[in-house]
Amino acid sequence: MKPAKADSDFFDRVWDVVERIPHGKVTTYGHIAEHLGVKSAARTVGWALNAAAESGLPCHRVVNRFGALSGQVHFGGPHIMEDLLRSEGVQFGDDGCVRMDLHLWIPGSPEED
């Protein structure tokens, strides 16, 4: 379920992309911004996700470009985001980052389900 009130059309478009991220996959703030035609708007994607914190959208599937869980502070505890991803079978490297080679989903790519 999307948030009741969008702050902007851009936020709505971000939420539409986040809604499509497959179970067990992650994407990045930058990939979402680039898909929406505003490559420099990765930070705004983060604001859209913050606005959707309690919406039920799979915002936990959005990580930074290195696979780090930079948005984990918005999930009610330091390990909730990681726990949600692990419950979907997402693997992490020794550095604590998502294994992007295994789990990266790029919106708009030919492989998109």
Establish if 54 belongs to a structural domain.
Answer: yes
**Is pTM beyond 0.95 here?**
no
Domain hosting 36: range is 9-103
Annotated active-site residue 97? The verdict is no
SS3 string, 80-111, reads HHHHHHHHCCCCECCCCCECHHHHECCCCCCC
Q: What percent of the chain has pLDDT over 70?
A: 91
* pLDDT at position 2: 54
| Per-residue pLDDT reduced to its tens digit, 43-98 | 999 999 999 878 899 999 999 999 999 877 777 777 899 999 999 999 999 999 99
Local confidence band at 4 (pLDDT 50, 70, 90 cut-offs): very low
Give the model's pLDDT for residue 33. 97
**Residue 1 is assigned to a structural domain of this protein:** no
Is residue 108 in a domain?
no
In a domain, 4, yes or no: no
Give the active site residue among 59, 62, 63, 90.
Answer: 59
CATH number of domain containing 34 = 1.10.10.10
Q: Is residue 91 part of a domain?
A: yes
pLDDT at residue number 15? 96
- Please tell me the total count of domains within the chain: 1
